[in-house]
C-alpha cells in the first residue's frame, strides 16, 4: 500500500504521540496503560464469566457449581468498576505531566536560537502559539490528550481482538459478520466527527470575535466607556450575532448527524440481529447451550463497543496541529548553521571594535547601520547619542549578539564575538535594555535573576544605583514582590524600576562582567538621582567599559568620549569640549537643550524631544 506524504506524516505523529507517554511518569503511565488493557479485555472476560454462570445454572447439579462462576463474574464486574473509577484521575496525571514536559520543550526550543531574529517573524510566533498547546476551544487538544487518545485507540483493538477470539471459539462465522460492519460503523462515525470538527473550525474567526465582545462587558477599562457611552446593547448584540453566525452551521450539522445516526444504527443492528437470531434458533433447537448463547450475545455487543467510540480519535486529531507546529519549529530553529562554540572566558576587559558593521532588520527595506566604525578602549566611558530611530538601541542588540550584523563584524580584542560564542560572550556583558522587562518577582530576584545572591554585593550594587533608599521603604526590603498583583507586593514608579535594573547591571559588573551597556537607563530619573548615578558610573568605568545611551546631553558631557550616531554611522566623535569647539550637530543640540533649561523649562526634557 502506497501512503501519501500526508498519511505518512500522520502516522509519524501518531508514533510520536505514543512516545510522549514516557513523560507521563513510569508509574502513572504503566498504571494507565494497564487500566486500559484491562478495560479492553474486560468485555470479553465479562462474556466468559456470564456464560460460566449461565452454564452452571443451566446444569442440574445444585448451587455449589454456580458459586465459583458467580464469584468470577462478580469479581470481573467489581474490577471493571474500580478500574473505571481510577482511570480518569490517572489519565489526568499522565496528560498533565506530558503537557508540562512538552511546553518546557517548546520554551527551550524558542530560546535555543542564539539570536532573536527568528522570534520576530510572525510565522514563527504563530508556530510557537500553536505548539504551546494552550487550547482555547474544544477542537484543540494538548499532546497529553493526544497521547492518551492514541494509546486508547491501540487498546481498543486489543478489546476487539479478545472479543473476536471469544466469539470465534463459539461460532467463527460471527467474527466477519460482526467485525466488518463494526469497522464500517467506526469509519462513518469518524468521518462525521471530522466533518463536524471542520465546520466548527471554519467559524473560528466569529468565535474569537464572540469571545472578544462577550468579555468586553466585564473588563474594567472598557466598563468605564460602556457606561459613559451607553453602548451595552450594541456590545452584547454584536457578540450574540457573532456567536450565532458561528454556531448556526454547527447546529445544522448536529441535526444532520442525528439523522445520519439512523444509517449507522442499521449497520450496528442488522448484524447483531442476525447473530442473535442465528444463535437463538440454534439454542431453541438444542444445538447450542444457553451458555453459548449468552457468551455470543455479550461478545457481539463488545465488538461494537470496542470500535464504536470516537473520542480517542478526536483527541488525536486535535493534537495533530500542535505536534505538526512543534516539529516544524524543531526543524526551523534547530540549526543556526554555525557550530555552537563556547570559548574560554575573557581574562581582561577587551578592546571592542565595530568593524564596518552594516545592519538591516530581517524583512526591512532599509539599512539601519551602514559601515559603522567604532573602537572602544577597555574601561572607557562612552556616551552614544543620536536622534530617535538613529539606531542606538539596534547597536546594543548587535553588541549583545541578539542580531548578527548583515555585513562586517563586532570584535573583542580582535576576535569576532560570533566565534567567541554568544553564551560566553553574554556572560561578559551587563545590559540594561531600553525596553527592559519588569518581572513580577521580588526585588532580590529581579536583581540576581535566579543566581545565588550575595547579600553584601547586592547592597553595594543597590547603593551605586541609588536604589538603597527605595529599598529601605519597601515593606519587606529585598523580599518585597515588585508587583501589586502579588501578595504584599508594591508597584514601583518608572524611575524606581530603572534603579532596579541599574542595580542588576552593576551587580553583574561586581560579579565579573566586563562591559556595561545602558540604553537610556536614566530617562525617568529625576535630575539629582541621574546626576548621582552618572557620578558612580564614572567610577565604575575604570573596572569595566561603560556604553551609555542618553538623550540628556547635560548628563553625558562628562563621558570620556561622546559619539553621535547619524545616518547609520558615526557622524561626530570626541570629548564634550572637543565636540563643542567643533561646532557641529552636537554643539547645536547641546545649545538648544541648555537654552531651554536656562529659560526655566522643566528639567525633564522629554526623551528624544530635542535629540
Given the rule CB under 6 A, which residues bind ligand ATP? 120, 361, 364, 368, 386, 388-394, 434, 608
The verdict on 406 binding Mg ion (CB under 5 A) reads no
Residue 365 CB, nearest approach to ligand ATP (Å): 10
- In the DSSP assignment, the letter for residue 486 is S
| DSSP class per residue in 207-247 | HHHHHHHHHHTT-HHHHHHHHHHT-HHHHHHHHHHHHHHHH
Answer for which of 211, 330, 434, 573 binds Mg ion (CB under 5 A) is: 434
The secondary structure of 401-437 as a DSSP string is: TSS--SEEEEEETTEEHHHH-HHHHHHTEEEE-TT--
At its nearest, how many Å lie between ligand ATP and the CB of residue 319?
A: 33
Min dist CB 393 to Mg ion, Å, is 3
Dihedral sign (CA 415, 574, 603, 566)? negative
Q: Please identify the residue of the shown chain whose CB is closest to the bound Mg ion.
A: 393
Pick 389 or 475: Cβ nearer ligand ATP: 389
Q: Measured between alpha carbons, how far is residue 159 from residues 9, 164, 350, 351, 404 in Å?
A: 27, 8, 70, 72, 57
Distance in angstroms (rounded) separating the CA atoms of residues 181 and 183: 5
In the bound complex, what is the minimum distance in angstroms from residue 520's beta carbon to ligand ATP? 7
Nearer to Mg ion, 384 or 492 (CB): 384
Question: Nearest distance from residue 387's CB to ligand ATP, in Å?
Answer: 7
User: Which of these ranges, 78-86, 167-175, 324-332, 430-438, lies near Mg ion under the rule CB under 5 A?
Assistant: 430-438
If contact means CB under 5 to 8 A according to the sort of partner, which of ligand ATP, Mg ion, none does residue 608 touch? ligand ATP
Helix-helix angle 5-20:143-170, to 10 degrees: 100
Q: Which of the 8 DSSP states describes residue 141?
A: -
Q: Which of 349, 514, 524 is nearest to 431 (CA)?
A: 514
Residue 225 binds: one of Mg ion, ligand ATP, none (C-beta under 5 to 8 A by kind): none
Minimum Å gap between C-beta 153 and Mg ion is 54
394, interface contact from ligand ATP, Mg ion, none, CB < 5-8 Å by kind: ligand ATP
* Contacted by 1, from ligand ATP, Mg ion, none: CB < 5 to 8 Å by type: none
Out of Mg ion, ligand ATP, none, which partner does residue 145 contact, by CB within 5 to 8 A per kind? none
d(Cα 242, Cα 212) in Å, to the nearest integer?
10
Given Mg ion, ligand ATP, none, residue 388, with its beta carbon under 5 to 8 Å by kind, binds: ligand ATP
Asked if 289 interacts with Mg ion (CB under 5 A), we say: no
Give me the helices (H) in 113-203, please.
122-131, 143-170, 174-202
β strands within 273-403, DSSP E: 352-359, 369-376, 381-386
The smaller minimum CB distance to ligand ATP, of residues 364 and 437, is found at: 364
Q: Which is nearer to Mg ion, 178 or 611 (CB)?
A: 611
Helices vs. strands in the chain: H and E counts, helices first: 22, 10
- Give the shortest CB-551-to-ligand ATP separation in angstroms: 7
The nearer residue to ligand ATP, 211 or 407, going by C-beta atoms, is 407
- Residues 65-104, one symbol each (x = binds Mg ion by CB under 5 A, - = not), give ----------------------------------------
State the minimum distance, in angstroms, from the CB of residue 32 to ligand ATP: 46
State the minimum distance, in angstroms, from the CB of residue 554 to Mg ion.
19
- Asked whether the beta carbons of 232 and 214 are under 8 A apart, the reply is no
3-state secondary structure of 440: coil
Q: What is the C-alpha to C-alpha distance for residues 334 and 330, in angstroms, rounded to an integer?
A: 5
Size of the site for Mg ion (CB under 5 A): 3
Beta-bridge partners for 359? 369
393 binds Mg ion (CB under 5 A): yes
Give the nearer residue to ligand ATP in terms of CB position, either 117 or 236.
117
For ligand ATP, give the closer residue by CB, 121 or 240: 121
Q: Which residue carries 468586553 as its cell?
A: 216
Q: How far apart are CA 342 and CA 533, in angstroms?
A: 34
Q: In degrees, to the nearest 5, what angle opens at C-alpha 81 toward C-alphas 76 and 87?
A: 120
The least CB distance from residue 384 to Mg ion, in Å, is 10
Site residues for Mg ion per CB under 5 A? 392-393, 434
Amino acid at each position: 500500500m502506497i501512503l501519501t506524504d500526508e498519511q505518512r506524516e500522520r502516522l509519524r505523529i501518531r508514533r510520536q504521540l505514543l512516545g510522549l507517554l514516557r513523560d507521563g511518569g513510569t508509574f502513572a503511565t504503566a498504571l494507565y496503560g494497564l487500566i486500559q488493557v484491562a478495560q479492553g479485555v474486560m468485555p470479553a472476560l465479562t462474556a466468559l464469566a456470564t456464560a460460566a454462570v449461565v452454564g452452571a445454572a443451566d446444569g442440574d447439579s445444585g448451587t455449589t457449581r454456580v458459586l465459583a462462576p458467580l464469584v468470577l463474574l462478580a469479581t470481573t464486574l467489581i474490577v471493571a468498576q474500580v478500574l473505571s473509577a481510577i482511570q480518569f484521575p490517572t489519565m489526568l496525571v499522565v496528560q498533565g505531566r506530558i503537557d508540562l514536559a512538552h511546553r518546557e520543550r517548546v520554551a527551550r526550543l524558542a530560546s535555543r536560537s542564539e539570536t532573536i531574529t527568528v522570534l520576530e517573524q510572525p510565522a514563527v510566533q504563530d508556530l510557537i502559539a500553536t505548539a504551546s498547546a494552550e487550547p482555547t476551544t474544544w477542537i484543540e487538544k494538548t499532546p497529553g490528550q493526544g497521547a492518551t487518545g492514541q494509546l486508547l485507540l491501540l487498546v481498543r483493538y486489543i478489546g476487539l481482538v479478545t472479543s473476536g477470539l471469544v466469539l470465534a471459539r463459539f461460532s467463527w462465522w460471527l467474527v466477519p459478520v460482526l467485525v466488518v460492519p463494526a469497522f464500517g460503523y467506526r469509519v462513518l462515525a469518524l468521518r462525521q466527527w471530522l466533518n463536524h470538527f471542520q465546520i466548527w473550525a471554519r467559524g473560528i474567526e466569529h468565535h474569537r470575535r464572540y469571545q472578544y465582545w462577550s468579555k468586553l462587558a466585564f473588563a474594567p477599562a472598557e466598563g468605564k466607556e460602556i457606561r459613559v457611552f451607553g453602548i451595552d446593547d450594541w456590545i452584547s448584540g454584536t457578540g450574540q450575532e457573532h456567536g450565532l453566525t458561528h454556531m448556526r452551521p454547527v447546529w445544522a450539522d448536529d441535526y444532520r448527524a442525528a439523522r445520519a445516526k439512523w444509517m449507522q444504527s442499521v449497520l450496528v443492528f442488522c448484524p447483531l440481529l442476525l447473530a442473535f437470531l442465528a444463535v437463538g434458533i440454534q439454542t431453541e433447537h438444542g444445538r447450542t447451550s444457553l451458555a453459548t448463547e449468552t457468551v455470543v450475545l455479550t461478545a457481539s455487543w463488545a465488538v461494537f463497543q470496542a470500535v464504536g467510540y470516537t473520542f480517542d480519535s478526536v483527541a488525536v486529531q486535535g493534537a495533530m496541529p500542535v505536534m505538526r507546529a512543534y516539529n516544524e519549529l524543531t526543524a526551523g530553529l534547530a540549526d543556526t548553521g554555525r557550530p555552537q562554540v563556547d570559548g574560554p572566558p575573557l581574562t581582561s576587559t577587551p578592546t571592542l571594535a565595530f568593524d564596518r558593521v552594516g545592519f538591516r532588520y530581517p524583512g526591512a527595506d532599509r539599512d539601519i547601520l551602514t559601515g559603522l566604525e567604532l573602537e572602544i578602549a577597555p574601561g572607557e566611558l562612552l556616551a552614544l547619542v543620536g536622534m530617535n530611530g538613529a539606531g542606538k538601541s539596534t547597536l546594543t542588540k548587535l553588541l549583545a549578539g541578539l542580531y548578527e550584523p548583515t555585513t562586517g563584524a563586532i570584535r573583542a580584542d580582535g576576535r569576532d564575538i560570533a566565534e567567541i560564542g554568544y553564551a560566553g560572550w553574554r556572560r561578559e556583558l551587563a545590559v540594561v535594555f531600553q525596553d527592559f522587562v519588569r518581572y513580577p518577582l521580588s526585588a532580590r530576584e529581579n536583581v540576581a535573576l535566579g543566581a545565588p545572591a550575595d547579600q553584601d554585593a547586592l547592597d553595594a550594587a543597590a547603593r551605586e544605583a541609588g536604589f538603597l533608599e527605595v529599598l529601605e521603604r519597601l515593606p519587606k526590603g529585598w523580599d518585597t514582590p515588585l508587583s501589586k498583583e502579588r501578595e504584599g507586593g508594591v508597584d514601583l514608579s518608572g524611575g524606581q524600576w530603572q534603579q532596579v535594573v541599574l542595580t542588576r547591571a552593576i551587580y553583574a559588573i561586581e560579579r565579573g562582567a566586563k562591559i556595561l551597556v545602558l540604553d537610556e537607563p536614566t530617562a525617568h530619573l529625576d535630575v539629582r538621582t541621574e546626576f548621582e548615578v552618572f557620578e558612580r558610573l564614572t567610577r565604575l568605568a575604570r573596572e569595566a567599559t561603560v556604553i551609555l545611551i542618553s538623550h540628556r546631553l547635560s548628563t553625558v558631557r562628562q563621558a570620556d568620549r561622546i559619539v553621535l550616531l547619524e545616518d547609520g554611522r558615526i557622524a561626530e566623535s570626541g570629548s564634550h569640549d572637543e565636540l563643542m569647539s567643533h561646532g557641529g550637530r552636537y554643539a547645536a543640540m547641546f545649545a538648544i537643550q541648555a537654552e531651554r533649561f536656562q529659560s526655566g523649562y522643566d528639567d525633564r526634557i522629554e526623551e528624544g524631544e530635542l535629540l
